[in-house]
Amino acid sequence: MIYIEYIFTLDPVQPFTEILIAELGGVGFESFVETEDGVKAYIQKEDWHPQLLEDIFILNSEEVQISFTQAEIQQQNWNATWEQNFNPIVVDDRCTVKAPFHTDTPETDYTIIIEPKMSFGTGHHATTHMILSFLLEDEVAGQAVLDMGCGTSVLAIMAAMRGATYVEAIDIDAWCYENSLENIDRNGQPHIVVKQGDASILGDRQFDTIIANINRNILLSDLQTYVKVLKQGGTIYLSGYLEADREILEAACTKLGGTPVKYKSRDGWIAAKFVF
């Protein structure tokens, strides 16, 4: 498999790197490695075209200077690439997310071992971190939980560890599907059901809790579908969008009968809890 690698340099680096990653994810980039002065971003050659960056608004922002180079690269040892940049994290002093090669890590209530490869979700990104925090705060024991846009399935694994009796993890990306199966097995959670697809594959099963950590456009497009498979009085956790989009997502949820219960904010990103 051949990839196109973009190396972006930003000044200032934050919070604009996070915004750039969000926009690049929306046009097909699959993986990101943050660097000291920006980010490396990867997209499959078959998904690339010369006009790909024309709709990336932050590239035209007057608030940040961005330069980049691009190169075609052959398939490589992706593990070696991210191992150089992946350190363990601890969420709320209760959950450690680490890679298989990490040995000296804190002892916490929960330990999740993630080998992300080309999938999104190690807990380092603000959105994943905040949803992990929500799952540590709230009870999901005995519940049916849906993780939409599951990436590595770190959030599905957290829900299972917290006692959810049925967990379904869905992602449209083949890398994420395969990687989720590996991570679920690695963490001893074989009852998690992994599916490849989008919201259109949701069936008749009803869920107590739905997690959707994706991006603003997909959330707005699929929110009604989520609500249809949510039990009365159920909870939806939304993330993957910026503070500037908080009002539009809240309005969309309210229109469908949702009540905002709590928000978290981190590095310019939002995670929200709604009850329907």
Are 135 and 161 a contacting pair, CB within 8 Å?
Answer: no
Question: Which single residue is written with the structure tokens 């922002």?
Answer: 61
pLDDT tops 80 at residue 214: yes
**For 53, which DSSP code?**
G
For residues 246-273, average pLDDT: 95
**Closest to 150 (Cα-Cα) out of 224, 241, 239, 32:** 239
Each domain of the chain, given as residue ranges in start order, spans: 3-76, 127-275
pLDDT at residue 172 above 60?
A: yes
Asked if residue 80 has pLDDT above 80, the reply is: no
Q: What does the pLDDT read at residue 144?
A: 98
pLDDT in the model for residue 92: 96
More confident call, 220 vs 117: 220
pLDDT in tens, 181-197: 999 999 999 999 999 99
Mean pLDDT of the chain: 89
Widest Cα–Cα separation across the chain = 50
pLDDT band at 41 (very low <50, low <70, confident <90, very high): confident
Report whether pLDDT(99) > 70. yes
126 and 111 Cβ atoms separated by less than 8 Å: no
Q: What is the pLDDT of residue 33?
A: 76
Write down the pLDDT at residue 29: 85
What backbone torsions phi and psi does residue 168 show, to the nearest 5 degrees? -120, 130
Contact status, residue 49 vs residue 56, Cβ threshold 8 Å: no
Q: Position of tokens 């994290």?
A: 89
Assign a CATH topology to domain 127-275: Rossmann fold (3.40.50)
Domain 3-76 is in which class? alpha beta
Q: Tally Cβ neighbours within 10 Å of residue 162.
A: 19
Q: Hey, do 3-76 and 127-275 end up sharing a CATH topology, with the first three levels equal?
A: no
Token output for 175: 């890398």
Strands 230-242 and 193-196: unpaired
Instruction: Calculate mean pLDDT across residues 113-120.
Output: 69
Reply yes or no on whether the pLDDT at 27 is more than 60.
yes
CA distance 49 to 181: 31
